[in-house]
């Protein structure tokens, strides 16, 4: 697909996503919306140990714009204006994450020289710590001006249901965002007939990354099936190489890996149906997925519990481990670490399937610097903002008019093509498929599986999580 085609208003993805609503990305149609809010769902869940009550403020002093030339200027961030602050809340602290954010700050700062940007980033991959801090700040009436939130259930069943965010319909109108985002995306940043956040990117969760040299030295091909994966893993193990790097010091990483295994074993329709209770968690395929995952854990680095996803990725970079299965923020990590000797494939069993998530920005009710926040959201949705952010972040633009400039590497270019042709399913660990409370119970069940490796009790816990979420009977 050419860039020209991507830009057309009858973008084929819109039709594809509409057709594939049953696969769960446009989940509202499934009646999955629960009455309860995220906060109710999360109940008494406390901030994880070690989560800072209020993180230190950092200023993006060394912000540098990405070296990409935008084709179109951001419509709203144009004129120099404003004073006051912009407190932007996220969990982006690793190489590619921070670099992408700072590239957008630099653009914002140019048009808003009088605004002090406060980069409120709470470390902790996939946002567990950040979300806990944000929750308590919102409850305490001290929200930031804008915050990172995943598109899908995390947004709608969480912050929207709890009446904690402002609708941004006016901005969708003034910026032409209804024409800029595919229909499937518009569907899940909206709820109750209004828009609630602005997507800055699309990420892919089901990627197997591999060290090219290690694969070449051992005459290996990237595995496409689980059988091929275990065959490759066995050969690498025999050579003293760690087959699969995992870093589940942050609880999301093992749950992320299992999400891709579920998808590989159940297929896109079966996987999506788990989140709408059309396939039961007691299904034999879920047992098979847990058994497969258990076998995979036998090929993982022994120090996995001590590592983060990016330090696990370092093992691949250093040639100590041959593969890692992780979202494409890994691509941003490679770019920052100047590592180019990597290959990629879809995780085993998921060829032609795109396990998707999107980072969006929303504005809390009671934001102290409302105008500054609205301008940030405008920039985030614009071609200029997305083309500065995404090549560094390792994600592709959500805006169909972006992505035409230099700077998107080979992986990202291939992913832009896949996004318009593969079967799209929603990520659970990254907020798209299930409300936060359910995603958390799922993650907890998988975390304890990694230690205990008890298939039957984990399957029961997963089934209970679905019932407690009010989705399964």
Residues that bind ligand GAL (CB under 6 A): 91-92, 97, 125-127, 150, 203, 327, 329, 357, 359, 430
Torsion sign, CA atoms 48, 52, 54, 56: negative
Q: Quick check: 184 and 14 in contact, CB under 8 A? A: yes
Q: Is 308 exposed, middle or buried (0-12, 13-18, 19+ CB in 10 A)?
A: middle
CB closer to ligand GAL, 76 vs 149: 149
**Rounded least distance, CB 78 to ligand GAL, Å:** 27
Report the distance separating Cα 398 and Cα 309, nearest Å. 24
Report the distance separating Cα 198 and Cα 178, nearest Å. 11
**Rounded least distance, CB 329 to ligand GAL, Å:** 4
Strand bridging mode 198-199 / 359-362? antiparallel
CA distance readout (Å), 90 to 155, 226, 283: 14, 35, 37
- Return left, alpha or beta for 173; rule: phi > 0 is left, psi -120 to 50 is alpha, else beta: alpha
**Rounded least distance, CB 104 to ligand GAL, Å:** 13
**Rounded least distance, CB 152 to ligand GAL, Å:** 11
List, in sequence order, the alpha helices (H) in 80-225.
95-111, 128-139, 153, 169-175, 177-180, 183-188, 212-217
Q: Quick check: 200 and 360 in contact, CB under 8 A? A: yes
CB closer to ligand GAL, 250 vs 459: 250
Report the distance separating Cα 35 and Cα 38, nearest Å. 10
CB closer to ligand GAL, 96 vs 182: 96
**Residue 59 half-sphere exposure toward CB, CA atoms < 13 A:** 6
Report the distance separating Cα 220 and Cα 228, nearest Å. 10
What are the start-end ranges of the E strands in 326-445?
Answer: 342-346, 353-357, 359-362, 423-426
**Rounded least distance, CB 327 to ligand GAL, Å:** 6
CB closer to ligand GAL, 277 vs 305: 305
CB closer to ligand GAL, 90 vs 459: 90
CB closer to ligand GAL, 135 vs 150: 150
Q: Quick check: 425 and 353 in contact, CB under 8 A? A: yes
Report the distance separating Cα 323 and Cα 300, nearest Å. 10
- Of all residues in the shown chain, the one whose CB is closest to ligand GAL is 125
**Rounded least distance, CB 154 to ligand GAL, Å:** 9
Strand partners of residue 210: 323, 343
**Rounded least distance, CB 287 to ligand GAL, Å:** 28
**Rounded least distance, CB 124 to ligand GAL, Å:** 8
CB closer to ligand GAL, 130 vs 462: 130
**Rounded least distance, CB 356 to ligand GAL, Å:** 11
CB closer to ligand GAL, 290 vs 432: 432
**Rounded least distance, CB 389 to ligand GAL, Å:** 10
Q: Quick check: 357 and 426 in contact, CB under 8 A? A: yes
Report the distance separating Cα 354 and Cα 268, nearest Å. 9
**Rounded least distance, CB 359 to ligand GAL, Å:** 5
**Rounded least distance, CB 334 to ligand GAL, Å:** 14
DSSP 227-284: HHHHHHHHHHHHTT-EEEE---SSTHHHHHHHHHHHHHHHHHHHHHHHTTTSS-TTSH
CB closer to ligand GAL, 223 vs 437: 437
What are the start-end ranges of the E strands in 288-388?
Answer: 321-325, 342-346, 353-357, 359-362
CB closer to ligand GAL, 91 vs 181: 91
CA 401 to chain centre: 21
């Amino acid at each position: 697909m050419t860039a020209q085609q991507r830009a057309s208003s009858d973008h084929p993805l819109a039709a594809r996503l509409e057709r594939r609503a049953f696969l769960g990305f446009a989940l509202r149609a499934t009646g999955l919306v629960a009455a309860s809010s995220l906060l109710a769902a999360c109940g008494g869940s406390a901030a994880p140990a070690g989560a800072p009550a209020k993180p230190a403020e950092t200023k993006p002093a060394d912000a540098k714009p990405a070296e990409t030339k935008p084709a179109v200027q951001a419509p709203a961030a144009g004129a120099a204006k404003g004073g006051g602050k912009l407190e932007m809340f996220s969990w982006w602290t690793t190489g590619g994450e921070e670099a992408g954010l700072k590239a957008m700050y630099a653009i914002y700062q140019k048009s808003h020289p009088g605004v002090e940007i406060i980069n409120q980033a709470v470390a902790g991959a996939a946002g567990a710590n950040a979300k806990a801090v944000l929750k308590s700040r919102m409850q305490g009436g001290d929200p930031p001006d804008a915050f990172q939130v995943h598109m899908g259930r995390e947004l709608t069943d969480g912050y929207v249901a709890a009446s904690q965010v402002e609708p941004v319909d006016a901005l969708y109108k003034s910026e032409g965002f209804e024409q800029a985002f595919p229909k499937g995306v518009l569907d899940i940043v909206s709820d109750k007939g209004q828009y609630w956040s602005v997507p800055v990117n699309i990420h892919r969760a089901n990627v197997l990354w591999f060290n090219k040299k290690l694969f070449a030295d051992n005459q290996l091909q990237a595995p496409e099936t689980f059988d091929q994966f275990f065959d490759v893993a066995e050969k690498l193990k025999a050579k003293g190489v760690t087959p699969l790097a995992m870093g589940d010091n942050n609880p999301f990483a093992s749950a992320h890996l299992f999400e891709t295994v579920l998808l590989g074993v159940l297929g896109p329709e079966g996987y999506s149906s788990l989140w709408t209770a059309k396939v039961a968690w007691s299904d034999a395929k879920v047992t098979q997925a847990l058994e497969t995952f258990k076998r995979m854990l036998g090929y993982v680095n022994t120090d996995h519990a001590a590592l983060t996803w990016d330090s696990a990725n370092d093992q691949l970079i250093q040639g100590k481990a041959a593969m890692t299965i992780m979202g494409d923020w890994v691509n941003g990590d490679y770019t920052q670490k100047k590592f180019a000797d990597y290959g990629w494939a879809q995780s085993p069993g998921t060829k032609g399937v795109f396990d998707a998530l999107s980072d969006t920005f929303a504005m809390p009710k009671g934001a102290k610097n409302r105008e500054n926040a609205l301008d940030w959201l405008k920039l985030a949705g614009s071609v200029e903002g997305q083309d500065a952010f995404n090549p560094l972040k390792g994600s592709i633009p959500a805006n169909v008019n972006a992505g035409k400039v230099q700077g998107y590497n080979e992986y990202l270019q291939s992913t832009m093509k896949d996004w318009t042709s593969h079967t799209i399913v929603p990520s659970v660990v990254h907020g798209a498929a299930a409300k936060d409370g359910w995603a958390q119970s799922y993650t907890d069940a998988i975390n304890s599986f990694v230690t205990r490796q008890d298939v039957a009790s984990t399957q029961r816990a997963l089934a209970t999580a679905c019932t407690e979420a009010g989705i399964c009977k």
